[in-house]
Structures are given as structure tokens and as C-alpha cells.
Amino acid sequence: MSPRRRKAERLSLDSPNWMPAAEAHRMLTGLRGDPDLAAKDLTAAVADKRSAKRLPCMQRAIARHIAPDQDREIVPLSFWKEYDFGFDPVSEKLQILPKGLAVEFRFRVAFFFWKPKFEKIWPKLAAPAAPRVRRTNDKRQPKGSPTQDAIRRIAAQVWPDGHEGIPIKHIIAAVSPKLSARGIPLPERDTYLRALGRRKS
């Protein structure tokens, strides 16, 4: 099997990585500042003869009688020898325009692009990485006395998802019996506040 064939098979037709052509055109228009230039660049990307540079394009039939698991197919490179993407200023939509003597494209299909490759070609349009969310228990714990250490450990066991929103009186009520069970004298309220970072020492 050729490398090109293997690459095509890796592009799952039902993958969420397929983005609507209209969305890609809107994003590229924002970058280029002109909808016609955006359509022109999209055509060049899907029609690139170099497979490593080509933007994969899929079409999906809109007709209701075609089953959802049978209405998708990769648009062949030969298609772009007869058609281009164009922008209709009346409807303000992306459309397929025939080249030369090619017949008018009348099929009711929706076009999609492979988003990872789209973002690789135009990295400025790539979605920003989601910020990492740190759990309360992952934060560096403040230093303190053995009693404060015990309070933090017990609180982390009782509220493994974090206790920042728990009123201090509820924390004291839950932690105090466990401190007593460990033979630790019950501390004052301020000790709880300092142990949990709610009051500076």
C-alpha cells in the first residue's frame, strides 16, 4: 500500500476534526481581509499537487435518502481541475464555481476541511491550547506546625476535590474528631485558618 493511500485511510470520515468549509472561509477571510482572496487560497490549498501540502477536503451529501454512514467521501484531486471555490456577494456564502467548459455544480453537498492540516497551513488561525486547571490538592501547601500539617491532610481526605468553598466552621466540625482520634490537642480557629491558607501567619 502506498504512503498516500495509508494517509487517506487515516482520515476518518466521521472524525470531529472535519470543520465546515464555511467556517474555514470565515476564519481565513478575517486573516486575509477579503472573502474572494480567502476562497482563492482555499482552492489553492485543496488543489495542491503536493500531498504533504494539500488540505484534505471531504464532501457530504445533503439528500435525506442517503444514509449518514454512506454520505461522506474525500473529494479527489481531479475535482479541482474543473471547479474552484468562490464567494457569492449576494448570498455571502462560499460556493463551487466551474472552470472553463465544466458544467455548473448542482449537487447538494456540504464541504469540510481537515482542521489539523488547516491549522498547520495557517497557524495564526489555530485554536489556542486550553489552560491547565490545577486541582486544590496539587497546589504547594504552606509550611506550618505538625498540627497544621495534620489539618491539611485530613481536610484533603474529607474533600479530595478541594475545600476552598467549604465554610471554616464545617471544616472544624469534620476535622476536630479526627485530630482527637490521633491524640492531637484541638487547636484554636486561627490554626485552622492558617493551615488551610485562609489567614497569613
Per-residue confidence band for 1, with pLDDT thresholds at 50, 70 and 90: very low
pLDDT tens for residues 19-71? 999 999 999 999 999 999 999 999 999 999 998 999 999 999 998 898 988 99
Q: Which of 18, 26, 27, 83 is closest to 57 using CA atoms?
A: 18
**Does position 91 have pLDDT exceeding 50, yes or no?**
yes
11-31 residue pLDDT tens = 899 999 999 999 999 999 999
Q: Give me the residue spans of the domains in the chain.
A: 3-125, 136-195
Which pLDDT belongs to residue 18? 96
- The stretch 100-122 carries a mean pLDDT of 89
Q: How far apart are CA 64 and CA 81, in angstroms?
A: 29
Quote the pLDDT of residue 144: 64
User: Does residue 102 register a pLDDT over 80?
Assistant: no
pLDDT at 9 over 60: no
What is the band of 8 on the pLDDT scale with cuts at 50, 70, 90?
very low
The cell numbers describing 65, all together, are: 435518502
Sign for the pseudo-dihedral over CA of 47, 78, 111, 98: positive
Dump pLDDT digits (tens) for 130-189: 666 555 544 444 556 899 999 999 998 888 888 888 889 989 999 998 898 888 899 999
- pLDDT of res. 199: 73
Residue 41: predicted pLDDT:
97
Instruction: State the average pLDDT over residues 4-15.
Output: 68
Residue ranges of the alpha helices (H) in the chain? 3-10, 21-32, 35-46, 115-121, 146-158, 168-181, 189-195
